[in-house]
Amino acid sequence: MEESPTKNDYTNQAKDKIFNEEFMPHIRAMYNFAHRLTYDEDDAKDLVQDTFMKSYRFINSFQQGTNAKAWLFRIMKNSFINDFRKKSKQPTKVDYQEVEGYYNSEGTQKAVTTDLRIDTVKNLIGDEITNALAALDIDFRTVIILCDLEGFTYEEMAKILDIPIGTVRSRLHRARNLLKEKLQSYAQSMGY
């Protein structure tokens, strides 16, 4: 992403400048993303370190002044999938429906009719949101983090996740419905 057609050939000085001025300011967002992927402080630290090391190694394919945050998030997402997911024995689930034009399918209509009410939502506390998000499959959790917490556009998300923009939208839509289902069951168990 943001790759220039011809690779750059930055001097060491330029590399350090890009690294310090364009990459490092995102360390907090990176650490939080890592923590929300791994839910473990040490794993999160490793993942951040790994991501920044890679970003430096591949710095010539980064175009100075472009979207560094999205570029870094993409590296982190790939590192997590390639290295960490394997280690953590998390099964890869592919059992969800993910087709474009999802909006008009029956599943959507059914899924949006949860009984969740606005006052119920207002009564939810941080722990419940945290738990509901954590309970989501990693791919669904990721789109919510990228969109709602980090404020990436659909287009940026498509690049970070290497999926078409239509898939970003349908995955996000599905993720939100799943989150609502979880929140609703919390609310029910709390007697709201």
Partner 1 sequence: MSLKKLVNEIKFRTGTAKCTEYLELVQRVLDGQASRSQEVYLKRHQKMCLKCLERFNIDQEIKKLIQLKLASREVPEGLAEAIKTKIAKSA
- Name the site residues for partner 1 (rule: CB under 8 A): 12, 15, 19, 24, 27-28, 31-32, 35, 41, 45, 48-49, 52-53, 56-57, 103-104, 108-109, 112, 116-118, 121-122, 124-126, 129-130, 133, 144, 147-149, 153-154, 169, 172-173, 176, 179-180, 183
| C-alpha–C-alpha distance, residues 24 and 142, integer Å | 22
Q: Sign of the C-alpha dihedral, residues 4, 32, 150, 98?
A: positive
Residue 159 C-beta: closest distance to partner 1, Å: 15
The residue (of 59 and 74) whose beta carbon lies closer to partner 1 is 59
Nearer to partner 1, 92 or 130 (CB): 130
- The least distance separating partner 1 from the CB of residue 154, rounded to whole angstroms, comes to 6
Q: Which two tokens stand for residue 21?
A: 């001025």
Tell me the residue type at 106. E
- Cα of 141 vs its chain's centroid, Å: 7
Nearer to partner 1, 92 or 123 (CB): 123
**CA-to-CA dists, residue 152 to 14, 69, 121, angstroms:** 27, 9, 24
Question: In degrees, to the nearest 5, what angle opens at C-alpha 25 toward C-alphas 127 and 34?
Answer: 40
Closest distance to partner 1 from the beta carbon of 77 (Å)? 18
The least distance separating partner 1 from the CB of residue 5, rounded to whole angstroms, comes to: 26
Rounded to whole angstroms, the Cα distance separating 152 from 90 reads 26
19/192 with CB nearer partner 1: 19
Host H or E run for residue 174: helix 165-190
Q: Which is nearer to partner 1, 154 or 192 (CB)?
A: 154
